[in-house]
């Protein structure tokens, strides 16, 4: 279960060390934008040691490596793949070929290390106009892709529009990302809300993203994590309804009924699937009982 993903700057020990107690389901240890070019070596070693010694139990580790147009990305992968982080986030992914290039090198490393292929998954960061246009191709380029992630800051620069709090300028991109991800059967994550002092704004933004179909949302501030988790968790009402659905289905089966209805509404396969998702998540959160 991954609702929130928190960015932590890769060369700042003070931030990294408390990564597992800030409430985020996943941490993104950043070797890219948060690290100056002359400190890439230091960040790589620091992140590697932090994962090796601290392990961050109970939290998914995602590494944002540097992009293909830099001299750093292979070295980043050389250091990170042996640690088996759950995911590698690749910035500025613009087409399927980008994914395949990362994929091929990761496979090479996994083979060398004797790891099973696709041990470490990919989360392409889509933050260019071309990337958004190619979102489905990116999401379905490789079995290694587990999720795609929208980066609105770089994207709005590429679109030559102003990034606003309301985010009308990225509405199309958000919708396009969700469609592509769902069509490719992978998860999809929303861009961070960047005003760290706007506690109401983050809630509105997260609720909007959830409404569009995003799996979860990234954050650059620990202060936003709790709200993101809350918004992307099922409500008690959702959970109660999900159990009702499953119970109705069970009774229907017992009675040998073909069609089952609940509160006067037909329960079809998508409703059951959704109810099961809700229950799975509730159980993972300790809110539900095993169905």
Q: Interface residues with another protein (CB under 8 A)?
A: 12-15, 17-18, 21-23, 37-42, 45-46, 48-50, 52-54, 71-72, 75, 222-223, 226, 286
Distance in Å, CB of 167 to another protein, minimum = 25
Two tokens at 83?
């640690």
- Least distance in angstroms from the C-beta of 84 to another protein: 17
Q: In the bound complex, what is the minimum distance in angstroms from residue 128's beta carbon to another protein?
A: 23
From residue 101, how far is each of 98, 130, 141, 144, 220 by CA, in Å?
5, 17, 11, 12, 28
- Say which residue the tokens 């997260």 belong to: 206
Provide, rounded to whole angstroms, the least separation between the CB of residue 45 and another protein. 4
Q: Which is nearer to another protein, 70 or 276 (CB)?
A: 70
Beta bridge partners, 4, equal 217
Contacts 24+ apart (CB under 8 A), 251-260: none
What residues does 75 pair with on adjacent strands?
A: none
Task: State the nearest-atom distance from the C-beta of 113 to another protein, in Å.
Answer: 20
Q: Which is nearer to another protein, 76 or 205 (CB)?
A: 76
Cβ proximity to another protein, 16 vs 267, nearer residue: 16
Shortest distance (Å) from residue 39 CB to another protein: 6
The C-alpha atoms of residue 92 and residue 80 are separated, in whole angstroms, by 19
Residue closer to another protein, measured from CB, 57 or 114: 57
163-169: long-range contacts, CB 8 A cutoff, minimum separation 24 = 163/194, 165/195, 165/198, 165/201, 165/205, 167/205, 167/208
> Minimum distance from CB of 5 to another protein (Å)?
15
Question: Which ranges constitute the DSSP H helices of the chain?
Answer: 13-17, 40-54, 73-80, 96-113, 129-133, 135-139, 152-159, 171-184, 199-212, 222-231, 236-254, 269-284
Burial of residue 44, with CB atoms counted within 10 A of its CB: 0-12 exposed, 13-18 middle, 19 or more buried? buried
- Of 82 and 213, nearer to another protein (C-beta) is 82
């Amino acid at each position: 279960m991954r609702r929130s993903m928190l960015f932590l700057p890769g060369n700042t020990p003070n931030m990294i060390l408390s990564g597992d107690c800030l409430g985020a389901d996943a941490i993104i240890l950043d070797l890219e934008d948060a690290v100056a070019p002359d400190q890439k070596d230091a960040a790589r070693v620091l992140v590697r040691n932090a994962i090796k010694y601290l392990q961050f139990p109970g939290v998914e580790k995602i590494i944002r490596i540097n992009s293909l147009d830099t001299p750093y990305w292979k070295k980043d992968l050389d250091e990170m793949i042996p640690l088996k982080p759950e995911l590698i986030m690749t910035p500025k992914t613009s087409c399927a070929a980008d994914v395949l290039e990362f994929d091929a090198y990761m496979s090479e490393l996994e083979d060398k290390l004797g790891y099973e292929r696709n041990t470490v998954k990919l989360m392409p960061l889509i933050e260019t106009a071309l990337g958004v246009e190619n979102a489905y191709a990116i999401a379905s380029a490789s079995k290694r892709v587990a999720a795609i992630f929208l980066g609105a800051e770089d994207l709005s620069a590429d679109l030559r529009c102003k990034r606003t709090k309301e985010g009308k300028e990225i509405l199309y991109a958000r919708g396009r990302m969700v469609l592509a991800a769902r069509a490719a059967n992978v998860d999809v994550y929303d861009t961070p809300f960047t005003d760290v002092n706007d506690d109401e704004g983050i809630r509105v933004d997260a609720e909007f993203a959830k409404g569009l179909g995003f799996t979860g949302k990234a954050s650059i501030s620990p202060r936003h994590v709790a709200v993101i988790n809350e918004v992307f968790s099922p409500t008690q009402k959702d959970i109660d309804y999900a159990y009702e659905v499953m119970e109705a289905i069970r009774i229907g089966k017992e009675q040998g009924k073909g069609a089952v209805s609940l509160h006067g509404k037909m329960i079809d396969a998508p409703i059951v699937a959704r109810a099961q998702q809700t229950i799975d998540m509730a159980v993972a959160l300790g809110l539900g009982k095993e169905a």
